[in-house]
Amino acid sequence: MALVAVAVLVALPPVERFVRELSYPLRDTAIINRQAAAEHLDPALIAAVIYVESKFDPRTSSAGALGLMQVEPSTARLLAHMSDGTEFTVADLAHPATNVAYGSYYLRYLLNLYDGSLTLALAAYNAGPTNVDGWLARARADGRTLSIATIPFPQTRAYVAKVEAATKIYRRDYAKLLGPAVCQAVTTSAKRRNMREVAPSTC
């Protein structure tokens, strides 16, 4: 019996790792870390968005969104124009490196657009900035703030909550692979000057 108990204890960590990787898989860490550094994003956030969007399966959605971060072709064309990506084609979104680059660029754009609010940036990633701008305008007219609980679309409420929860899990369980967390805030002055210029990492 003692030998069996020792065997179980020795075998447990690999089993736990297997369950973790099955529940919250992680692939393409080099790509994620590279784009996190380029866009001043937490790598765990990028991993969490990929997890919620595609579970690391680069499929095409029924709405036509493509790849790991489920980037829509129309959004990618806009981002290509903004970043001077003159040689972009929709087929490029099938490549993990390109897809994560565009998805991360878009996340940084949205974070800057909404003054560093992760909740609003994620809501816009899911429902689009036009919807979020409308919700914000109505909330302000009513004298209230827009929070996860008051997002009108149930799907978007669930999406934001899932990404925020998954970010914590990826940060906790994959800290060595994903590297240190970074500050993602943007100052108002930086927002006016350049969408890539962010506040210091010690927010």
pLDDT at position 80 over 80 = yes
The pLDDT tens digits for 19-63 are: 566 689 999 999 999 999 999 999 999 999 999 999 999 888 878
- Structural fold of domain 28-193: Lysozyme (1.10.530)
Say which residue the tokens 């956030």 belong to.
Answer: 45
Catalytically annotated residues: 53
Confidence at residue 189, expressed as pLDDT on a 0 to 100 scale: 37
The pLDDT tens digits for 116-154 are: 999 999 999 999 999 999 999 999 999 999 999 999 999
Q: Where are the domains of the chain?
A: 28-193
C-alpha dist (Å) from residue 24 to 36, 51, 111, 159, 170? 19, 7, 24, 16, 8
pLDDT at position 159 over 60 = yes
163 token code pair: 């990404």
pTM: 0.82
pLDDT at position 201 over 50 = no
C-alpha dist (Å) from residue 145 to 94, 108, 128, 139, 161? 38, 22, 18, 6, 17
